[in-house]
Copies of this chain bind each other. A is one copy, B any other.
Amino acid sequence: MSKDKSLKKEREALCEDLLEAQFELQKANQGPVLLLVSGNDLAGKAELIYTFYDWLDNRYLNTRAFTVPRGVERKMPRLWRYWRSLPPAGTVGFYLGSWYHQPMIQRSRGRMSEARFSTQMAQITRFENQLVAEGVLVLKIWLHLERPQTQDVPAKTQQAQQKKIESVAMREWGEFSATEYAKVLACAEHTTELTSSALAPWVWIDGSDPDHRDLQVGKLLLQAMEHKLQGKGLVPNDADWQPAKIDRLAKLDYEKALAKDVYKRKLASLQQHLRDLARHPDFSKGSLLLVFEGADAAGKGGTIRRITHCLDPRILRVHGTRAPTPEERSQPYLLRFWRRIPAPGTVVVFDRSHYGRVLVERVEGLCSDLRWQQAYAEINDFEAQLHQAGTQVIKFWLAITPEEQLARFEAREQTPTKRYKLTDEDWRNRDKWPDYAQAMNDMVENTDTAHAPWHIIPSTSKRYARIEALRIVCERLEKRLKQS
C-alpha cells in the first residue's frame, strides 16, 4: 500500500471514530471539550481547525478568538469573558487566542513582570482545574515548526525558508522581529512548564506536515474524548480546607433587639445615607455585590428590600438563587454566578448564592465531598477576582435559632401574603439543622476573607437585622468612596 493510501485509510478510520465519540459525548450531554490552539501561524492553526470542521459534525463546534479586551471587558475580571463564552455541554470549542494569549504577548514583549506572569499562570491553572473538575475536557496544543535540517537543504534555501517562517509567524504576534520571536518561543516553553498538568496538558505538535499534524491532533482529541466517555477523566484532588474550629452560631447574642421608634428613626436616616452614597460621583466607578445567606425565614427578603429601596432599579438586579436548571447543571457550577456579576456602576444582590454548593449541595449530598471541599478555594478565587476588578463583595448571614424559625413558620401559615413561601421542603430541612450549622461554620471559616468578609447578624429581631445590614452596607460603601 502506498504512503498516500495508507494515510487516507488512517484518516478515514480516525474520522469515523471521532464522529462516533462526538455523537456519544453529545448524547451524554458531557463535556464540553476545549481545544486551545496556540503557536506559530505558519504551522497552520486556522487550517487545523478547518480540518475539524470537515471531520466533525459542525453543528456542535464553536470557535472562539479573543483579542485585546474591549469596552466593558476591560473593567470586568480578566477571566470573565472566558467564563461567559464557555461552549455548552456536548460540544467542542476551539480557541484561537485563548486565556494564555494576552499574558504571553505582554510577557514576550517585556511588558509584564515575571512575578505578575507567574501569578496569572497560577490563576489560569486554578481556572482550568476547576473546569476539569466540573467535567470539561481541556487540551492545549502548541503548534511549532521544526527548523529545516541542514544536511537536506542548501544553506540559502534554508535561510530564506527560516526568514519566511519567522516573518509570517509574526502575523498574530504583532510586529516582532525574528529575535523577538525567540522570546515568544522561550515564553511558550516557560508557559508549558508552568501550566501543563495531567489534567490539562500542553502538547507540542510539529506543524510542518499538515496531514501528520491533523492526524496527531485528531488522535489526541479522540483519546481524550474516549477517556471522558469511559469516565476515566482525571480529577484534581487538592481540596485545601480546614473544618471550622469555632461554632459561630452558638456564640451569637440572639436577644439583640430594637424598639420600634428607634428602628424607624435609624431606618430613615440610614436609608437617606445610602441614597446619598449611591449618588456619589465615584459610585459608578466600582460595583457592589451583596450576598445574603441564612436559614429559611431568617428575614433575608425583608432586609434586602430595605436596602434595594434606596437604589435606582435601573442599576439594580436581585437574583433569587434556585436549584439549577438541567442546562445549568450540565455546566460548571460557578458559571451561572459569573454570568450575574455586576457591571461597573451597578448593584447585584444574591438572595442565596454561589455558597449553595457548600450549604444545600453539601448537606443534601448533591455534589461529591471532594467537590464541595474544593469549592471553598474556588469561591475565594472568584471573589478575589471580583475584588480586583473593583467589585465590593459584602456577605451576610442572617442567623436565627431553630425555635425562632419554628415560630416564624407557624406564623407564615397564618398569613396569606407569606403562606406561599412555605413548602414541605422547608419543614424537612429543619431536621438537618445541625448539618446546616456545621456547613455554615465551615463556610465562614474558609471563606471569610479580608476583601469579602462575612457579617453574621443575629436576626431574632428583624428590625435589628435590617438596621445592622444597612449600617454595614453604608459603612463599607462609604469607606470605598473615601478611598477612591
CA distance A304 to B59 in the complex (A): 10
Q: How far is the CA of A115 from the CA of B318 in the complex (A)?
A: 41
Which of B54, B63, B320, B420 contacts A19 (CB under 8 A)?
A: B420
* Contact among B20, B46, B57, B327 for A325, CB-based, below 8 A: B327
Whether A313 and B53, one on each chain, are in contact in the complex, defined by CB atoms closer than 8 angstroms, is yes
* Separation of A181 and B50 alpha carbons in the complex (Å): 58
Cβ of A108 within 8 Å of any chain B Cβ, yes or no, is no
**Are A316 and B20 in contact, CB atoms less than 8 angstroms apart?**
no
Among A61, A304, A351, A417, the most chain B Cβ lie within 10 Å of the Cβ of: A417
Are B61 and A318 in contact, CB atoms less than 8 angstroms apart?
yes
Pairwise interchain contact B23-A314, C-beta atoms closer than 8 A:
no
**What's the least CB distance linking A49 to chain B, in Å?**
5
Indicate with 1 or 0, residue by residue over A318-331, a CB within 8 angstroms of chain B CB atoms.
11100001110000
Given A57-B301, A61-B318: A16 and B416 interface contact (C-beta under 8 Å): yes
- Which of B15, B54, B319 is A417 in contact with, Cβ under 8 Å? B15
Cβ contacts A77-97/B at 8 Å (1 or 0 each): 000000000000000001010
Residues of B within 8 A of A319 (CB): 59
Q: A247 an interface residue at 8 Å Cβ cutoff?
A: no
Chain B CB count within 10 A is highest, among A60, A309, A314, for: A314
A74 in contact (CB, < 8 A): no
Q: Using Cβ atoms and an 8 Å threshold, which residues of chain B touch A380?
A: none
- Contacting pair A313 B54 (CB below 8 A): no
Cβ of A212 under 8 Å from chain B: no
A320 touches B60 (CB 8 A): yes
- For the complex, give the distance between the alpha carbons of A361 and B46 in Å: 39
State whether A313 touches B46 (Cβ < 8 A). yes
A159 contacts partner chain B, Cβ-Cβ < 8 Å: no
Bound together, the chains give a CA A319 to CA B416 distance in angstroms of 47
Judged by a CB distance under 8 angstroms, whether A208 is at the interface is no
Chain B residue numbers with a CB within 8 Å of A58 are 301, 304-305, 308, 318
| Cβ-defined contact, A23 with B53, below 8 A | no
A445–chain B nearest beta-carbon distance, Å: 28
Cα A417 to Cα B21 in complex, Å, equals 10
- Complex: chain B residue closest to A65, CB-CB: B314
Q: Tell yes or no: A154 within 8 A of B by CB.
A: no
The distance in angstroms between the C-alpha atoms of A308 and B58, with both chains bound, is 9
With contact pairs A65-B314, A304-B58 given, residues A309 and B50 touching in the complex (Cβ less than 8 Å): yes
Instruction: Chain B residues near A49: list those with CB within 8 A.
Output: 313
One digit per residue, 1 when the CB lies within 8 angstroms of any chain B CB and 0 when it does not, for chain A 12-41 equals 000110011001000000000000000000
Q: Which residue of B lies closest to A59 (CB)?
A: B320
A264 vs chain B, min Cβ distance (A):
16
B-side contacts of A281, CB under 8 Å: none
Which residue in chain B gives the minimum CB-CB distance to A57? Answer: B301
Minimal Cβ-Cβ distance residue in B for A24: B420
User: Do B417 and A19 have beta carbons less than 8 Å apart?
Assistant: yes
A96 neighbours in B (Cβ, 8 Å) = 313-314
Interchain CB contact under 8 A, B318 and A59: yes
Query: Hey, which chain B residues are within 8 Å of A19, CB to CB?
Result: 417, 420
Asked whether B20 lies within 8 Å of A416 as measured between CB atoms, the reply is: yes
Q: Could you jot down 12 A-B contacts, CB within 8 Å?
A: A15-B417, A16-B416, A19-B420, A20-B416, A20-B417, A53-B309, A58-B304, A58-B318, A61-B313, A64-B314, A96-B313, A96-B314
Contacts A59-B320, A94-B313, A325-B326 known; 6 new A-B pairs at CB < 8 A: A46-B314, A57-B301, A58-B305, A59-B301, A60-B320, A63-B316
Interface of A with B (CB < 8 Å)?
15-16, 19-20, 23, 46, 49-50, 53-54, 57-65, 71, 94, 96, 301, 304-305, 308-309, 312-314, 316-320, 325-327, 351, 416-417, 420
What are the 9 tightest A-B residue pairs by CB atom distance, in nearest-first order? A59-B320, A63-B313, A65-B314, A23-B420, A16-B417, A58-B318, A49-B313, A19-B417, A59-B318
